[in-house]
A and B are shown apart, each in its own frame.
Chain A
Amino acid sequence: MSKLLVSPSPHIHASVSTKSLMRDVVLALVPAAIVSVLFYGLGELVVLGTSIASCLVLEYLITRYLLKKDNSVGDWSAVVTGLLLALNLPASTPWWVVFIGAVVAIGVAKMTFGGLGQNVFNPALVGRVFLLVSFPTYMTNWESNGGLFGIADAFSGATPLGAIKEGLIALNAGTPGASTLSELTSQYGVSDLIFAHLGGSAGEISAIALLLGFGYLLLRKVVRPYITLSIWGTVALVSLAFSLAAPEQFTGPAFNLLTGGMILGSCFMATDYVTSPMSIKGGIIFGVGIGFITMMIRYFGSYPEGMSFAILIMNATVPLLNNWCHQRKYGRA
């Protein structure tokens, strides 16, 4: 008889792996990717393809030749980063700009820290913010030639948040003929914002597609809801308070929850395992922080959109939050 295998318990393992979790995240982003290709046409496909392919190739080359470790391409985490980066960029971004974003995301934000699990900042967001600062013109060009099958009207203009910011600046400067805030927001019907609207990066335009994916992640228990909910709660409360106090200066909860990178950021970027706190308590503080900083940037900052910055700022607090917040232990007060 062959020798028996003797190893310590447990002798069985749940059918989850890093790969299966990452694959679920990719699946969850597919609806949003499809909507963005429909609305922005083939240009979006180029952005998606370049981003994912660059992330994969860079991950392979760096792990293989620079870190001389087993390559980690098989774990799908580079696909997640590539997909998230692409969904954060305008469809008209030239391929070489996308590639630079991927180099920053994988090469700088992920690998210099030691690869998956070691990085402090969300790689896709670091890539995006780098591009936003370095190539602002490419990054705020929201053109669409009408998408596939003429699904959308040809469009060229600003994001809803950008338009409001411009409008408010004009209004406050006393520009003659400037529209009031309520006139500005009335261009954006809530149902358009929920289903799909133009003006914004691929991952911003359809709340419903993103929420569908997020629902799938919750069902599969890939992520837990508390970070996302605390972001939403904070954004809702802060914008409610401001908009009640000064309705002509500040946008309200529905508008703020549905525009910008709010859904993408709160559902897919802030919930990134590696760069969010381990405990529920820590996660709630993290979420409240993101919601608050986002609203401050949107209301008072020079950028119309604050989600990316807010998440990156709160990423930096994660080691502290992990030190302070622990879950309750059995039999200890």
Chain B
Amino acid sequence: MSRRTFSMGGVHPADNKISRDCKIEVLPIPDTVYIHLGQHIGAPAKPIVAVGDKVKVGQPIAEPGGFVSAYIHSSVSGTVKSIAPRKDLAGNPQMCIEIAVEGDEWMEGIDTSDTIVTDFPDDAKTSLEKIKAAGIVGLGGATFPTHVKLMPPPGKKCDMLIINGCECEPYLTSDFRTLLEKGEQVAIGAAIIKNVLGVDKATIAIEDNKPEAIKHMNEVLTNLRKLSSKYAGISVMSLMKKYPEGGEKQLIDAVMHRQVKSGGLPIDVGAVVQNVATALAVYDAVQKNKPIVDNSVTVTGECFPKQANLLVRVGTPLKYIIDYLGGMPADAVKVISGGPMMGKAIANLDAATLKGTSALLFLTAKQTARGKEGNCIRCGKCAEACPMGLEPFLLNRLSRAGGMLDELEKNAVQDCIECGCCLYSCPANIPLLDVIRQSKAQVMGVIKARAAAAAAAKK
């Protein structure tokens, strides 16, 4: 067992990785896909196709709508049926390109073979261009455009690239399966990112509940090192299983023993973190000219008829996936996009998957029940659990008192990463994070307004 982990807080929810032995299976292509233009953090992409256009798999259909934005590609071949608002997972209308599928014809130049290409361009710029063109966004949950993250602001130096293979949320297994089945590609992707950043060291961080993946990645790296010196400096690090180890700040603390200052960025302490799925996407983009058209999705839950890890084309309707695996279980009351700690409850099963959709989790009423709220018994379990060292009981009290934004800011409500450890641990079932989330948004608003005012005063 590994003893290395982040330095404060954290919880140990049951692993429940019941789909861990399910190989990644290719989901047949649906009749119609619905590709949202807002698949990433930042400005939505702008469509560059029109209704009636014929498109191929991998063809760009929307371009970045700003500096922090990303390309979007067609995930199927067929005809553009409509470009109109459509309800997303949360039930909110978002601009969306509807494509009727005809065959499976790919763009020229995309290498769809399984051959593994180990040699990559030395020139960082070529790789970066390809990453941008492929529409890669952080696939660990944040969906921040990757090419932006790989261009550190001037004056900031990266000391270490961390490939996040923690998958610390219960139930999720798509990164684990990717490491086992596409370990070479992930390692090559890591080497490419390392080269783009110009750093000497890269670490693939994996929690010790996945010993097979740790062993496999070590073997993969040993073999790659024999092939080329480009693979020097990449290692695997085993971390003690603890949630939220995969949180960027916690991971940097665990791997580098450095802490990102409040309001700062990982690069301030010399770190860049990329997820396993993102490293795979980088490999596809640079080595195979393949943009993001599909991604792995874990479909799981004790009540769900069949556990699976599926390779799904972007924009596949959720209903289609559910029906493929045997239909909606009668006792499932909640479907979550992502894991049970930080995932979002889905309101609309007619919605389609996004690049960043990593899991569909089905929970029964009993599994997701929240007990009746009682008095705070001042047990301190929320503070003990908080990986940011905050005091959720206090933030809750200040929030509910009203008009205490100054006090809330002093007590660092803005540092909350919304991991849910506090609410998960509270014996009195106080909806700590629900309350904290609201006051965090208010305090962030105040901080932004202050920064804007300061900037205006300077001019």
A residues neighboring B (CB under 8 Å): 1-2, 4-14, 16-18, 20-21, 72, 75, 77, 114-118, 224, 273-274, 276, 278-279, 326-332
Contact = CB atoms under 8 A, between A and B. Distances in A.
Contacts of B13: 12, 14
A267 B326 CA distance: 54
A114 B376 CA distance: 12
B380 A273 contact: yes
Interface in B200-249: 249
B8 A9 contact: no
A330 B334 contact: no
B94 interface: no
Contact of A330 (B259, B343, B369, B378): B259
B340 A11 contact: yes
B347 interface: yes
B389 A328 contact: yes
16 contacts: A2-B333, A5-B333, A9-B418, A10-B341, A13-B369, A13-B424, A13-B429, A14-B11, A17-B371, A21-B427, A118-B375, A278-B394, A327-B391, A330-B259, A330-B388, A332-B412
Q: Determine chain B's interface SS by DSSP, over half rule.
A: loop
Given A6-B347, A116-B377, A329-B415, A13 B371 contact: yes
Q: What 10 A-B pairs have minimum CB-CB distances, sorted nearest first?
A: A10-B420, A329-B389, A117-B375, A331-B259, A273-B379, A6-B345, A12-B340, A5-B334, A330-B388, A11-B340
B341 A20 contact: no
Given A5-B368, A9-B344, A330-B8, A17 B427 contact: yes
A117 B429 contact: no
Contacts of B389: 327-330, 332
Interface of B: 8, 11, 13, 90, 170, 249, 253, 259-262, 264, 328, 333-336, 340-347, 349, 361, 363, 365, 367-371, 374-381, 383-384, 387-391, 393-394, 411-412, 415, 418, 420, 423-425, 427-429, 433-434, 437
A24 to B, nearest CB: 11
A275 to B, nearest CB: 8
A328 to B, nearest CB: 5
A11 B377 CA distance: 22
Given A4-B335, A331-B261, A326 B391 contact: yes
A11 B391 contact: no
A324 to B, nearest CB: 13
Contacts of A8: 345, 433-434, 437
B340 A72 contact: no
Contacts of A11: 334, 336, 340-341, 343, 345, 361, 363, 368
A115 B375 contact: yes
A332 B261 contact: yes
A265 to B, nearest CB: 19
A278 B397 CA distance: 14
A274 B379 CA distance: 7
Contacts of A9: 336, 340-345, 418, 420, 433
Given A4-B335, A21-B427, A330-B8, A10 B340 contact: yes
Nearest to B170: A12
B371 to A, nearest CB: 6
Contacts of A12: 13, 170, 340-341, 363, 367-368, 424
Given A12-B424, A330-B388, A278 B393 contact: yes
A189 B391 CA distance: 46
A14 B367 CA distance: 11
Contacts of A279: 380, 383
Contacts of B262: 329, 331-332
Contacts of B361: 11
B275 to A, nearest CB: 19
Contacts of B249: 330-331
B241 to A, nearest CB: 16
A11 to B, nearest CB: 5
Nearest to A15: B14
Contacts of B341: 9-12
Contacts of A10: 340-342, 420, 423-424, 433
B375 A116 contact: yes
A331 B377 contact: no
Contacts of B345: 4-9, 11
Contact of A278 (B368, B370, B391, B415): B391
Nearest to A22: B377
Which residue, of B261, B345, B347, B378, has the highest number of chain A Cβ atoms within 10 A?
A: B378
A7 B431 CA distance: 11
A278 B384 CA distance: 9
B8 A328 contact: yes
A273 B347 contact: no
A330 B253 contact: yes
Contacts of A326: 391, 411
